[in-house]
Each structure stands twice: as structure tokens, then as C-alpha cells.
């Protein structure tokens, strides 16, 4: 289907129009203590939500990481907060995404090298500069049937979101340019 036909189908059948399920923002510091606390503070300022800490899954002696030690923090945004955050973050990457950032099911992720590239963010010397990973999960109405506890079911192949539909949705909603590399 062409882009126009796809958009027309979305207009006729709102159950086929993609939507943002969640946006996950991850800051991996690699060590616990003060650096992790500073990263958590930055993440809280950017998103307006309290981040949760993530622990190391295994010990890596060369990096000085022990199993069970908190080394990263993350925030999950949904609804309007996710949409507003994405608009700001896309400006930090010049409204460009690589087609390779999208998986076969329409989800995509990208990284930001320095958090001060996000518009409206000021540099605070006490906190330093940190990078982050942004993962966006897209879905359609009706995807809940595969995640619910009671009467779980599969989502049919016709209803699964594709890479092309996700790129078309992101272009239309946010004005992001999708590049080949």
C-alpha cells in the first residue's frame, strides 16, 4: 500500500492507527553511588518522574561492577507525557532517525550523547553531562489481548504493526525525517 492509502485506511478504521504505548528512557552509568544519583536527578528533571534503579546482572571485574549493584536508572513515560518528551528529544537529534533504528514490529530506539542537547535543558556543573537511550514502543488498539492475564490471546498477523507503518506514523505525527543510514 502507498502512504496515502495507508493514511486513508487509518481514517476509516481507527483500530488500525498506530499509537505510542510507552517511551522508556535509560541512563546507564556503570557504577553506583554519587554518579548514579546525579544521573537519576537529571532524569527526574527531564521527565518529571522519579526514576527507578536497575542492578547489574553479573560481576565484571575489569569494570569494577559487582552482581546486584545498582548501575543504571530508567523512567517509563506513557500518554501525553511521552508525546511531549518525544517532541523535545527529536529536536536533540535534529528530527532525524535512521531506518535501522526500527525493529520489524515498528518499535524504535535511539541514543542521545549529551542530555544538554535537549531544548530547555541547562548545564548544571554539579550534575555533569550524561547520555541516554530512548526506546519507543508503538502499538495498535487491541494489543492488550496478548498481555492481559485472563483469556490471553494472540494478535493476528494482519493486525501487527510493521516497520513501514511505524515510519509513516512517526513522520506524520512528529515531522521526523527517516534516513537510510
* 18-53 per-position pLDDT tens digit: 999 999 999 998 888 898 999 999 999 999 999 999
Summarize the confidence of residues 13-20 as an average pLDDT: 92
60 pLDDT higher than 90: no
The H helix count followed by the E strand count for the chain is 4, 7
Q: Which of 46, 124, 29, 50 is nearest to 86 (CA)?
A: 46
pLDDT, tens digit, 9 for 90 and up, residues 117-171: 998 888 888 888 999 999 999 999 988 899 899 999 998 888 899 999 999 999 9
Please report which confidence band the pLDDT of residue 113 belongs to, taking 50, 70 and 90 as the band edges.
very high
**CA 179 – CA 176 distance, rounded (Å):** 10
Query: What's the whole-model pTM score?
Result: 0.89
Q: Which CATH class is domain 19-179?
A: alpha beta
**CA 17 – CA 161 distance, rounded (Å):** 9
Domain ranges of the chain: 19-179
1 pLDDT higher than 80: no
Cβ atoms of 75 and 94 closer than 8 Å: no
Cell matching residue 26: 535509560
Higher pLDDT, 129 or 63: 129
4 pLDDT higher than 90: no
Instruction: Output DSSP code: residue 99.
Output: G
What pLDDT, on a 0 to 100 scale, did the predictor assign at position 176? Answer: 92
What pLDDT, on a 0 to 100 scale, did the predictor assign at position 138? Answer: 95
- The per-residue pLDDT of the chain, averaged, comes to 91
Amino acid at each position: 500500500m502507498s502512504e496515502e492509502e495507508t493514511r486513508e485506511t487509518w481514517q476509516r478504521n481507527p483500530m488500525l492507527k498506530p499509537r505510542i504505548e510507552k517511551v522508556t528512557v535509560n541512563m546507564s552509568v556503570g557504577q553506583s553511588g554519587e554518579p548514579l544519583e546525579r544521573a537519576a536527578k537529571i532524569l527526574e528533571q527531564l521527565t518529571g518522574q522519579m526514576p527507578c534503579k536497575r542492578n547489574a546482572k553479573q560481576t565484571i571485574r575489569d569494570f569494577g561492577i559487582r552482581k546486584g549493584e545498582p548501575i543504571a536508572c530508567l523512567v517509563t513515560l506513557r500518554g501525553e507525557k511521552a508525546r511531549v518528551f518525544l517532541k523535545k528529544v527529536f529536536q536533540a537529534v535534529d528530527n532525524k532517525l535512521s531506518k535501522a533504528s526500527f525493529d520489524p514490529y515498528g518499535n524504535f530506539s535511539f541514543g542521545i550523547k549529551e542530555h544538554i542537547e535537549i531544548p530547555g535543558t541547562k548545564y548544571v556543573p554539579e550534575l555533569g553531562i550524561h547520555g541516554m537511550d530512548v526506546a519507543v514502543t508503538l502499538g495498535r488498539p487491541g494489543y492488550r489481548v496478548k498481555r492481559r492475564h485472563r483469556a490471553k490471546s494472540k494478535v493476528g498477523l494482519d493486525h501487527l504493526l510493521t516497520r513501514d507503518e511505524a515510519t509513516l506514523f512517526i513522520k506524520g505525527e512528529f515531522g521526523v525525517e527517516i534516513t537510510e543510514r
